[in-house]
Amino acid sequence: MQDRTVDEGDDKPYAAPPAAVLQEFDVDPAQGLSDAEADRRRERYGPNTLRHAPRVSAFEIFVDQLKSPVVWLLAAAAALSLILGDITECVAILLVLVINTATGFFSEIRAVRSMEALRQLGVQSAQVRRDGALHRIPAEALVPGDIVFLEAGDLVAADLRLVEAANVWCDESTMTGESVPVEKSLDPVPPDTILADRNCMLHKGTALVRGTALGVVTATGMKTELGRITDLVLEAEPESSPLDRKLQQLMGQIVWVVIVIAALTTLVGVLGGRDLPLMIEAGVALAVAAMPEGLPIVATIALARGMWRMARRNVLVERLSAVETLGSTTVIFTDKTGTLTENRMTVEALWLPRGEYRIGDGAIADAHGNDASDDPALIRALRVGVMCSSASLGQEGKDEAGEEGTGDPMELALLRAGRIAGLERDTLLAEWPEIGQEAFDTATKMMATVHHTDGALVMLVKGAPEAVLGASTGQLGDKADRVKLDRGYWLDAAEKMAEQGLRVLAFAEKETADPAATDYEDLLFIGLIGLRDPPRADARDAILACREAGIKVIMVTGDHAVTGRKIGEAVGIADSATPAVTGSELKPLAEQDEAERQGLLATRILARVSPEQKLDLITLYQSEGEIVAMTGDGVNDAPALEKADIGIAMGQRGTEVAREAADIVLRDDAFSSIVAAIREGRVIFGNIRRFLLYLLSCNFSEVMVVALAMLAGLPLPLLPLQILFLNLVTDVFPAFALAAGEGEKDVLQQPPRDPREPLLARRHWGFIVFYGVLLTIATLSALLLAEYWLELEGDAVVTVSFLTLGLGQLWHVFNMRGANAGVFRNAVTANPYIWLSLELCVGLIFLAMLISPVAEALRLVHLDAKAWGLVLACSLAPLVVGSLVHPVLRLWRKRRG
């Protein structure tokens, strides 16, 4: 056999008839390839495997922690301390570096597992025809041109063009998002047909749920659709979270400020005749003072606490910074099936000769709202639906949506509807024994069962409305008699039901003399039945909460447009006038003009979109400055989950690939859980901003105290080791307490933050400077009074300034109350962790003075009562002044607004 196969991916086998595809791959379906030819093609195309991104090693993650300018600055400070001979100070600074590096390392180490999960979708073996005989071979040994045989339950090992098919239905939900199995056929489709509608193809990673098939391999490995999605995952660079970016920006700014202040202070001191080693020590003190060493630890703990709270709401967090990212979300791209809906097909309506019937909440009602569960016409229609079936509901009525049962989702829905009317399949079959069955056939689009009853044989039929109507010659009359069939009326009725987003089936029956004969002729048409995957009960309220929170919700579904639009109306995403845009209507983002982009930004429902189009949508919104959250459950969602600012996977029905690519996993698959997580994210961001204000105002005061003292020719008021003690002990624990706040009740009624707003805006820097100046004035006042009023010297003066600033920073935590909060009753005073942190920090300060080795290292000495009185008075002054100024600022903001 000559090797004249085409390159994989260069053709469109779904657009050609089976014979042409077989000819293109130079293979006879009755014989298959020879082993020798298969070996030659394997050398040409390679194994049928997926490539994967190299795993990031723990060492690489560790090295990344050392690339921060903050680390470099503190390392330089440690080196200078070593050069100056202060070993204790050097060791202390290095200890801070170790703590921060370890915190970053253990919080960020996260293996890249998406590709392993993709590879696991590849089956271990496949039945292939080689040299005229069927063999089971490893899946990676498949080559283009191989003839593969599949039956119900098999996973597809490569992309195949069907050449033979007998009642083939395939579950493609992981690839396309289609919520129900898809019927397959041999007929070619147009070259521009989207993936979800290529019904003559079977794709790697999907599964046959019904029938048998023979197909020719058209693509293997990375050339398959699954391989193409793998490439998209590899190419979709995950966006760093807004919090990561803002913290990095803030820390970078602080580093430059530190360098400038330390250099200027040292230079001015040297030019003023001060001792060089002393000025270098002062420069080190300034560098250590300005850096909020506790910030990474506090941020990590704050996010971790949010993660624990979210876990109680069925939200599992893979990446800590994802907690905050949810809080800044401005756009949510949500799937339909299982997230907004129950992922459980349900009979919703019947259209019979007597009129329409509705099923809901365990009851059946006619058009007037009256109970119709014993209506003879209804019972006759549901009996066909229950008996003309191959599904089994089980004694407890459970199916795959948390209930026990097996079979097609729509047949299970029919069994549940029958149970509402008191019709049990087992009971009916005992009265009407089944003696024959004709499985659903793609050619006839119908299925039938034959039953024996009262000495007669009855054939029950269900199928596509146009097919059943075409085989019917009469319809059931109002008096249960046979009347003339009004085919046009029923076709219009079926179309109206479909326009409501229902999946429509038709029922019919006839008496027959031959139990083996299942000819679809001369049927008695009974009626239509409409099924739907209903919206979740809490979905509409959750969508409303998003709207009140200023968050846009956009449905991106693999289902049909009309179905998506109806669910969108039901849950409040759109109204009846809102159009749904399909993937076939979307141009690539690079080819869209400004008007088309704006039109897409205004769209709220998108259907039948491809993985590439999902990436384009995310890119479009991110380019507009939006923070994008993306939900998904299938293989086709993995690239978008990776690309979005926040990827949200479904825990119950999501594939392993989607879960590994996501930042957050919903254990209950409910949209309402996303809303709860968004609230938690907003609370976390507010807490982070609050403790940042606290830490930086404390650090600013330390910088100002050291810098002003040196410039004024005063003794060094704080030593580097003392500043480290303040930053890592007395600053961090109150910051922890602030991070544990529960948030305001109306947090979801506030609009989302402007994604372009920095972590700390101008007004926040004003707050930092104002309170930093108050703490600085109080500390330098204590220093001057201790030296000139109390006539203290040396370490005693430093001890007074150290205690004043340390205690002043502790009382400063009460200045972190809300803008409209009272002095004594507010979120800070109501937080029990605040009081615990104050008790702990005051105790640590006293222990530092009482334990001789620690006191010697910090150069602390005992003070008399007057000195302690001075410390208490000066340390309380910033809180008193702040409490007096706070209402004045509040009034000024109110008048200004």
**pLDDT single digits (tens) 496-537:** 998 888 889 999 999 888 776 668 999 999 999 999 988 888
Give the count of beta carbons closer than 10 Å to the beta carbon of residue 245.
14
Q: Please, which residues bridge with residue 483 across strands?
A: 475
Q: How confident is the model at residue 61 (pLDDT cuts 50, 70, 90)?
A: low
Q: Active-site residue 335, yes or no?
A: yes
Comparing CA positions, the residue from 334, 670, 339, 341 lying closest to residue 503 is 341
Rounded mean pLDDT of 461-488? 93
pLDDT of 43 over the 50 cut: yes
Q: Model confidence at 206, in pLDDT bands (50, 70, 90)?
A: confident
Where residue 199 falls among pLDDT bands split at 50, 70, 90?
A: very high
Q: What are the b/e assignments for 396-413, b being 16+ CB within 10 Å?
A: eeebebeeebebbbbbbb
Q: With contact defined as beta carbons under 8 Å apart, do 691 and 735 qualify?
A: yes
Four-CA torsion 714, 720, 726, 731, nearest 10 degrees: 110
122 has a pLDDT exceeding 80: no
d(CA 665, CA 334): 13
> Does position 315 have pLDDT exceeding 60, yes or no?
yes
pLDDT over 80 at 55, yes or no = no
* pLDDT higher than 50, residue 119: no
Per-range mean pLDDT, top range of 170-179, 418-427, 629-638: 418-427
Q: State the chain's mean pLDDT as an integer.
A: 82
pLDDT tops 50 at residue 118: no
Model pLDDT, residue 6: 42
Question: Which candidate, 354, 344, 428, 442, places its Cα nearest to that of 384?
Answer: 428
**Mean pLDDT, residues 839-847 taken together:** 93
d(CA 438, CA 461): 9
Q: CB within 8 A of 631, min separation 6: which ones? A: 332, 333, 334, 335, 339, 637, 648, 649, 650, 666, 671, 674
pLDDT at 268 over 90: no
Please report which confidence band the pLDDT of residue 295 belongs to, taking 50, 70 and 90 as the band edges. Answer: low
Longest dimension (CA), the chain: 120
Handedness of CA 32, 163, 612, 596 (dihedral sign): positive
Nearest-5° Cα angle at 669, 672 to 739: 55
Containing 571, the helix (H) or strand (E) segment is helix 561-571
Active-site residue identified among 335, 408, 633, 645: 335
Does residue 116 surpass a pLDDT of 50?
Answer: no
Q: Is the pLDDT of residue 260 over 60?
A: yes
226 has pLDDT over 80:
yes
The answer to whether 164 and 211 are in contact (CB under 8 A) is no
Beta strands in 533-672 (DSSP E): 552-557, 581-582, 605-607, 628-632, 646-650, 664-666
Helices vs. strands in the chain: H and E counts, helices first? 31, 25
User: Which contiguous run of DSSP H or E holds residue 511?
Assistant: strand 503-512
Cβ atoms < 10 Å from Cβ of 540 = 17
Q: How far is CA 80 from the centre of its chain?
A: 46
Q: Which comes out higher in pLDDT, residue 195 or 892?
A: 195
Inform me whether the pLDDT recorded for 427 exceeds 60: yes
CB 187 within 8 A of CB 199: yes
Q: How confident is the model at residue 656 (pLDDT cuts 50, 70, 90)?
A: low
Q: How far is CA 811 from CA 177, 266, 763, 817, in A?
A: 56, 31, 22, 12
How do the residues of the chain divide into helix, strand and coil, expressed in percent and rounded to 5?
Answer: 50, 15, 35
What tens digit of pLDDT does each residue of 714-751 get? 777 887 778 878 877 777 788 888 888 777 777 788 88
Distance of CA 384 to the CA centre of its chain: 42
Give the pLDDT confidence score for residue 443 in this predicted structure: 75
Grade residue 629 by pLDDT with cuts at 50, 70 and 90.
very high
Between CA 171 and CA 179 the distance in angstroms is 8
pLDDT at 236 over 70: no
CA distances from 509 to 77, 518, 519, 574, 675 (A): 89, 11, 11, 40, 49
**What pLDDT, on the 0 to 100 scale, is given for residue 596?**
92
Higher pLDDT, 813 or 688: 813
More confident residue, 406 or 401: 406
660, 665, 667, 672 alpha-carbon torsion, rounded to 10°: -150
Question: Over 70: is that where the pLDDT of 73 sits?
Answer: no
Range with top average pLDDT, 287-301, 395-409, 752-766: 752-766
For residue 517, the model assigns a pLDDT of 64
Q: Which of 753, 590, 633, 639 is nearest to 239 (CA)?
A: 639
Distance separating alpha carbons of residues 386 and 780, to the nearest angstrom: 87
Mean pLDDT of 881-888: 79
Q: Which tens digit of pLDDT belongs to each residue from 364-386?
A: 998 888 888 888 999 999 999 99
Question: Looking at the chain, how many residues does it have?
Answer: 897
Note every long-range contact of 474-477, with CB atoms under 8 Å and residues 24 or more positions apart, other chains counting. Answer: 474/524, 474/525, 475/353, 475/524, 475/525, 475/526, 476/352, 476/353, 476/377, 476/380, 476/524, 476/525, 476/526, 476/527, 477/353
pLDDT at 658 over 80: no
What's the pLDDT at 370? Answer: 87
Fill in the DSSP letter of residue 535.
B
β-partners of residue 535 are 341
Q: Residue 196 carries which side chain, given as an amino acid letter? A: A
Q: Is 113's pLDDT higher than 50?
A: no
With a cut of 50, say whether residue 249 has pLDDT above it: yes
Min mean pLDDT across 228-232, 236-240, 567-571, 891-895 is at: 236-240
Task: Please give the average per-residue pLDDT across 350-357, as a whole number.
Answer: 92
- Decide if 161 contacts 21 (C-beta within 8 A): yes
Amino acid 400: pLDDT = 40
User: What does the alpha-carbon distance between residue 65 and residue 68 come to, in Å, rounded to a whole number?
Assistant: 6
Band the pLDDT of 305: cuts 50, 70, 90: confident
pLDDT value at residue 395: 56
Axis crossing angle, helix 611-623 with helix 594-601, rounded to the nearest 10: 100
Q: Bin 651: left if φ > 0, else alpha if -120 < ψ < 50, else beta.
A: alpha
pLDDT of residue 114: 38
Q: Note the pLDDT of residue 169.
A: 87
Burial 475-499 (b: 16+ CB within 10 A, else e): bbeeeeeeeebeeeebeebbeebbe
Q: Please list the residues that pair with 157 across neighbouring strands.
A: none
Q: What is the mean predicted confidence (pLDDT) over 567-585?
A: 87
| Closest of 55, 53, 52, 64 to residue 107, by C-alpha | 64
Burial 556-581 (b: 16+ CB within 10 A, else e): bbbbbbebbbbbbbbbbbbeeeeebb
Collapsing DSSP to helix, strand or coil, 37 comes out as: helix
Contact 530, 494 (CB under 8 A): no
pLDDT on residue 537: 86
pLDDT at 8 over 60: no
73-87, 160-174, 232-246, 391-405: which has the highest mean pLDDT? 160-174
Nearest to 469 by CA among 449, 493, 450, 438: 493
